[in-house]
Structure 1
């Protein structure tokens, strides 16, 4: 089976089929347009997306009256950073930006992929954080820029 487009997302679908097969992916694979994957039931699928859109958790790749095939993002090791003030947030964001680390934001939390050097930086700066395995909705993607 070759999938060329995403047909929806579980978060917005009202009608669901009785059975769901899952394709488990690491978040860094969500940005790839061409993949060969297997479902949790052993079915091999080729993904060749025509649109330049990243996959996200819950994307539906196939659906018929009895079955759906859905993207499920695996949990990964992250640092969840919880600054206590806007100044602390600005300072740590600046330092992480200097290291070219992509971050994701949710509410008052900033999340980066685990790195022991960042963990040490946060400890030294006395910025509250926790290390945990967490499912991220989309890939950590670096932002292009120049120093010119």
Structure 2
């Protein structure tokens, strides 16, 4: 899979994503299996499952594509998106207040997280596992599809652009140069 390829007229193109539940998955003309990183793109050459050949994901803007969504291939049909199992950690706590505190620590580090009611899922990371365990969480390795929250500013978990309901949207960027004076907590 490679991004920013020159246009190719011989590849079927997907310009539209249909959300899971809004199309008849039984009528899919094939599947494509994409991990989390490859489901947060705008333009990418993809290989369909089962040797059905490549396709070009060519969306107007980056978006978070989820398991069960359909990629509409011009003149071909709809290809179903599958999310494979990934190495994750499941984070649980005895009390919901403690789980909320863990979610805060994860979010403060800009780590994508999947919220699952009484638990959180994040990508496997031994440093985070040690930190969360030290804070009192129960951390268990799991293998499952990863579908983190999209965030407040857009469909993509890595998003930075968002609309304000006044006819247009724009990017506010996302500065990672957080000075010590910007957070309401100590660093030392």
Check 1:108–1:139 CA distance in 2 against 1; reply closer, same or farther (3 A cut).
closer
Residue from 106, 112, 117 that aligns with 2:122: 112
- Deviation (angstroms), 1:52: 4.8
- Equivalent residue number for residue 69 of structure 1: 79
Q: Show structure 2 runs of 5+ residues with no match.
A: 1-11, 151-156, 160-173, 183-188
How many residue pairs match? The answer is 145
Q: Show structure 1 runs of 5+ residues with no match.
A: none
TM-score relative to the length of structure 2:
0.64
- Equivalent residue number for residue 33 of structure 1: 42
Q: How does 1:68-147 map to 2 (within 5 A)?
A: 68-137=78-147, 141-142=157-158, 144=174
State the secondary structure of the residue aligned to 1:101: coil
- Equivalent residue number for residue 65 of structure 2: 55
- Equivalent residue number for residue 21 of structure 1: 30
Do the aligned residues in 2 keep the contact of 1:23 with 1:71 (CA within 8 Å)?
A: yes
Measured on the aligned residues, the alpha-carbon RMSD in Å equals 2.8
Check 1:142–1:46 CA distance in 2 against 1; reply closer, same or farther (3 A cut).
closer
Distance 1:68 1:30 in 2: 16
Distance 2:84 2:149 in 1: 11
After the TM superposition, which parts of structure 1 deviate over 6 Å for at least 4 consecutive aligned residues? none
Do the aligned residues in 1 keep the contact of 2:113 with 2:149 (CA within 8 Å)?
A: no
